[in-house]
Amino acid sequence: MRYRILGPLRPAVTAGRDRIVLAMLLLHPDRVVSVAELVDAVWDEGPPPTARAQLQACVSRLRRALPTGVIDTDPVGYRLRVGPDELDSQVFARLVARARAEGDAAVFREALDLWRGEALVGIDSRPVRAAAAALDERYAAAAEDWAELVLAAGGDRELIGALGPLVERFPLRERLRGRLIRALAGAGRTADALAEFRRCREVLRGELGIEPGEELQELHRRVLSAGEAAPVRSLPRTVGDFTGRDDAVRRLVRAIGDADAGSPVIAVIDGMAGSGKTTLALHVAALVGDRYPDAHLFVDLRGFGEGEPVEPAAALLTLLRQLGVPSQAVPVDLADRVTMWRSELARRRVLVVLDNAHSSAQLADLLPASPGALALVTSRRRLAGLDGAHPESLPVLAAPDALALLAGIAGDRVWAEPEAAAEVVRRCGGLPLALRLAGARLAHRPRWQVADLVRRFGESALPELVVEARSVADAFALSYGQLAAPAQRVFRLLGVYPAPLFDAPAVAALTGLPLDDAEDLLDDLIDVHLLDEPEHGIFRLHDLLREFAAALAADLSPDERRTAVEAVLDLQTHALAASTLPGRRALLDLDLGHPEPGRPDLVAAVADPVARVERERPQLGAYVDAAGGTRYAWWIPRAAWWHLFSRGYNDDLRALFERSLAPVERAGDRAGLAVIANYLASAYVRSADFPRGLAMLDRAVTVQEELGNRRAVATALGNRAGLYQALGRFDECVASGRAALRLRALIGETSSARALLQNLAAGYAKLGRHAEALHYRRLALFTAIEAGDAAGIAIALNHIQKDKRALGLTSAENAERYLGVALRLARRCGHRAGEAEVLDEHAILLRDLGRYAEATALHEAAIAIMREASDRLYEATFSYDLAVTRALAGDHDGALTLHRRVLRTAQALGATDLVALAEAGLRRRPSGRGLDQLRPVAGRGRMVG
């Protein structure tokens, strides 16, 4: 089937609405055109209630008129599939791209001959006419480029007849008119050339009220002076609303001004598609243009566009013709053209913009070699091969500049809706092209509010960032199309990566590649600005690029997507597990079933597991979501538990395990559910949500008993002992702890039970049975030493010191030694709660020695740590200790204030022993002695991990 839109619509369709629908589908071939777009095209802004039904009828009639199966129905709208050579506009675009790349006038002529008049002539629809006008603009631009090549080849006379009708059709295009004037002058018809300029000036004055542009006026002066040398101004028009980039502009202008006078200046501006590289280059050119009075030249090297990049020979032809070199005088041989180019530059002070460069090799023959010249190069690729160049990589716009750019295009609506405008900026990722297109959408929809555009963005902003023939997705597609197949595959798979940040091992897991290959391909993506490296070895995609990659990944098979994601989750699980202290690894491995990593080489490549899990911490929820109902939904939280728990990230811990609970329940994974319940209880206990903590532990016990996992039952019973201790139910604490020990003995469990021993000891201490408490503290110390558990050793030493103090078995000197060792160990392994406990115990030791100021400082440091960890019970316990210290120091008012605060917190938490101590503190007016007996000797319960 042949489709024609470059002129009257073909195939001919009789019904007016059918013609509009077919035109819209052909204007967007092989793309889903939404129902909203089609309704807008057919009825403008006043569609009837039956618009959707009428539209379906139009499509039904078109299906009968067109070959079977070419119109697809999509949930969003309709798509018309066309073959490679079936649509004349696509053939035209390919021929033009080829002609520009090869500098071939004959191919241009072939493309122009496809036109049979104005695009889609006779179809009266605002969107169709707007798109048709864009096609007509492309025709005119192609005609101008064709004319330039014909002029360069000396075809002035043959061009005159062809350009006359084109000038009549496009009377306001100054470049086209300039080509005709040059053709007339080149053919010796100077009078006709001057008359054509006068006609152009009359048209521009009459239609627009303006004078011809500087380029056309300069051409007029050259014709008048019969070829006398004149300044050349070939730079294209730039935007009038240049915004931001102040630092980049200053650096570039300073680099140009500071350059060695004996050499040319080369500045290279690189950045991702749509980052405003050309706009910046033209802005800088305008700022420094007076320093280069002889010529301002411009050539688009088409390094990232349809077709092949422009060959250096073709680029030199364009540049030399801009300098006024007659076409017949330009050598055919490349080396001779380079010699002529450099000779011409040697006689002038010239500024040249080499736009959209593909590589350093493409530029080698184009860069000026003489003093007094400036080359401003733009590229989507980092051109590291250009020696002596000043590089300037463009980031996205900062939020204030992005808002200013949006407001400059869309108007005051932006400032009237600050929240919606900020969301548009966020969804556009600060990318100038995206912001310009978003602003244009608003500018052409005066009835829209900014919030309307935000709603249209929905889950993906890319489909909305389209204006006529310009779109962000197309800009990205050009960069993607330049990649080699392996790099394309990596980029595509990044569309399914669950989180924003990733490293090379994660990408190697995602793609199944060797680590070295993954690193090389990541470098390739960075070089073309499809990837960012915010810190060394850490990578991310711009938000819009993530959407683009996700759209590409949708074409992958479900199995390929699932395999890639599960490989990432496997790596994350084992990398998280590697951050667990060696002494706690045995229990983790038992909980996970001793799994082997799918890629041991990648786990081994993680140099600092603790630093890595700290970096991954904000992304752990995304991994759980990606896991769905698989075992990774609970493996990842379990593997991360010790890091989160020991460093006081209790809010993260609670949110992560709660997030994993629903998918694991839906999957019916009872073993996973029991593990989640046990460790989620630790978050509830730390935040003093004791009822929920107890419910979770009861659930863990019940499920593990059903599964026959007696070791896990013992673990949960030991944890429940710690919770009973926190609730002041000390007899139950001891009973639960002893039951856990008996069960472990029955099953011959030899793995460490440090937390269980500590919880049992705490219960005995609260009952005043310090000798028994000391016995279990020592057992906990021995097991921690045997396991190499620095955190367990620190906790045991601290509590041994407490019990010895209660029994009167230690001196101040020995106590300080115990506490010093405990503090160093706690800090070394990052155990924040353990550090706080040691600080508080040291404060009590100093208080007993009468060193109240030092004691107060340590109490306050301990309180601050627990407040940061959202641990209300420990914060209240240490606050009580501080109240006692303040009272002994004579600050009775400060002590009473603290007692009241502790009482309120303890009552809210249900911590009965702390309530009693606070009430006693409020009843008494201490004057010096005996207050030490009003403090809780042992801390709250511990969780096994």
Confidence of residue 111 (pLDDT cuts 50, 70, 90): very high
Spatial CB neighbours of 85, under 8 Å, sequence gap ≥ 6: 91
Kindly tell me if the per-residue pLDDT of 927 is higher than 70. no
Host domain of residue 324: 246-393
pLDDT score, position 482: 86
Residues 361 and 499 in one domain: no
pLDDT score, position 242: 84
Evaluate the CA torsion angle 427, 429, 431, 435 in order and state its sign: positive
The reply to whether 577 falls in a domain is no
The answer to whether 686 touches 727, Cβ cutoff 8 Å, is no
Average pLDDT over every residue of 680-708: 93
Residues 465 and 545 in one domain: no
pLDDT digit string, tens, across residues 389-404:
999 999 999 999 999 9
CATH number of the structural domain spanning residue 929: 1.25.40.10
pLDDT score, position 939: 44
The reply to whether 747 falls in a domain is no
Kindly tell me if the per-residue pLDDT of 937 is higher than 60. no
Confidence of residue 935 (pLDDT cuts 50, 70, 90): very low
Could you give the percent of the chain with pLDDT greater than 90?
61
Nearest C-alpha neighbor of 898 from the set 906, 628, 569: 906
Q: Rounded to a whole number, what is the largest CA-CA distance in the chain?
A: 117
Give CA–CA dist 172/212, Å, rounded. 10
pLDDT score, position 936: 45
Q: Residue 172: which H helix or E strand, with range?
A: none
Kindly tell me if the per-residue pLDDT of 575 is higher than 90. yes
Q: Residue 391: which H helix or E strand, with range?
A: strand 390-393
pLDDT digit string, tens, across residues 339-368:
999 988 887 889 999 999 999 999 999 999
Residues 258 and 353 in one domain: yes
Residue type, 565: V
Which residue pairs, CB below 8 angstroms and at least 24 apart, start in 618-624?
619/498, 619/499, 619/500, 619/501, 620/652, 620/656, 621/655, 621/656, 621/659, 622/498, 622/499, 623/498, 623/499, 623/568, 623/569, 623/572, 624/656, 624/659, 624/660, 624/663
Kindly tell me if the per-residue pLDDT of 759 is higher than 50. yes
The reply to whether 635 falls in a domain is no
Spatial CB neighbours of 70, under 8 Å, sequence gap ≥ 6: 1, 80, 81, 82
Residues 446 and 509 in one domain: no
The mean pLDDT value of the chain amounts to 89
CATH number of the structural domain spanning residue 509: 1.10.10.10
Residue type, 534: P
Kindly tell me if the per-residue pLDDT of 226 is higher than 80. no
Kindly tell me if the per-residue pLDDT of 917 is higher than 50. yes
Q: How would DSSP label each residue in 53-71?
A: HHHHHHHHHHHHHS-TT-E
Confidence of residue 323 (pLDDT cuts 50, 70, 90): confident
Spatial CB neighbours of 868, under 8 Å, sequence gap ≥ 6: 648, 832
Kindly tell me if the per-residue pLDDT of 940 is higher than 50. no
Give CA–CA dist 305/629, Å, rounded. 43
Q: Return the residue matching tokens 């079977």.
A: 68
Average pLDDT over every residue of 370-399: 90
Q: How many CB atoms lie within 10 A of CB 675?
A: 27
Residues 893 and 822 in one domain: yes
Confidence of residue 631 (pLDDT cuts 50, 70, 90): very high
The answer to whether 66 touches 9, Cβ cutoff 8 Å, is no
Model pTM above 0.85: no
Nearest C-alpha neighbor of 762 from the set 720, 787, 726: 726
User: 862: which 2 tokens?
Assistant: 């301990």
The answer to whether 468 touches 131, Cβ cutoff 8 Å, is yes
pLDDT digit string, tens, across residues 53-109:
899 999 999 999 999 989 998 888 999 999 989 999 999 999 999 998 888 889 999
The reply to whether 169 falls in a domain is no
C-alpha atoms less than 13 angstroms from C-alpha of 93 in its C-beta half-sphere: 14
Cis peptide before 11 (omega within 30 of 0): yes
The answer to whether 343 touches 234, Cβ cutoff 8 Å, is no
Confidence of residue 508 (pLDDT cuts 50, 70, 90): very high
User: 924: which 2 tokens?
Assistant: 């008494």
End-to-end, the C-alpha distance of the chain in Å comes to 69
pLDDT digit string, tens, across residues 646-689:
888 999 999 999 999 999 999 999 999 999 999 999 999 988 89
Q: Residue 598: which H helix or E strand, with range?
A: none
Last residue of a domain, one of 421, 452, 476: 476
Residues 810 and 871 in one domain: yes
Kindly tell me if the per-residue pLDDT of 177 is higher than 50. yes
pLDDT score, position 230: 62
Kindly tell me if the per-residue pLDDT of 771 is higher than 80. yes
Residues 502 and 382 in one domain: no
Residues 2 and 146 in one domain: yes
pLDDT digit string, tens, across residues 552-563:
999 899 999 999
Average pLDDT over every residue of 233-248: 83
- CB contact burial 191-212 (16+ within 10 A = b; e otherwise): ebbeebbeebbeebeeeeeeeb
Give CA–CA dist 778/769, Å, rounded. 15
Average pLDDT over every residue of 132-141: 93
Last residue of a domain, one of 327, 359, 393: 393
The reply to whether 685 falls in a domain is no
Q: Residue 651: which H helix or E strand, with range?
A: helix 650-667
pLDDT score, position 944: 46
The reply to whether 547 falls in a domain is yes
Kindly tell me if the per-residue pLDDT of 48 is higher than 80. yes
Average pLDDT over every residue of 222-250: 76
Do the strands 265-270 and 373-379 form a parallel or antiparallel pair, or are they unpaired?
Answer: parallel
Last residue of a domain, one of 370, 393, 416: 393
Confidence of residue 728 (pLDDT cuts 50, 70, 90): confident
The answer to whether 807 touches 771, Cβ cutoff 8 Å, is yes
Residues 829 and 809 in one domain: yes
The reply to whether 722 falls in a domain is no
Kindly tell me if the per-residue pLDDT of 915 is higher than 70. yes
Q: How many domains does the chain have?
A: 5
Average pLDDT over every residue of 874-894: 95
pLDDT score, position 925: 60
Residues 451 and 414 in one domain: yes
Kindly tell me if the per-residue pLDDT of 818 is higher than 90. no
Residues 298 and 376 in one domain: yes
pLDDT score, position 934: 47
pLDDT score, position 607: 86
Kindly tell me if the per-residue pLDDT of 924 is higher than 70. yes
pLDDT score, position 372: 85
Residues 24 and 117 in one domain: yes
The reply to whether 738 falls in a domain is no
Strand, helix or coil for residue 936: coil
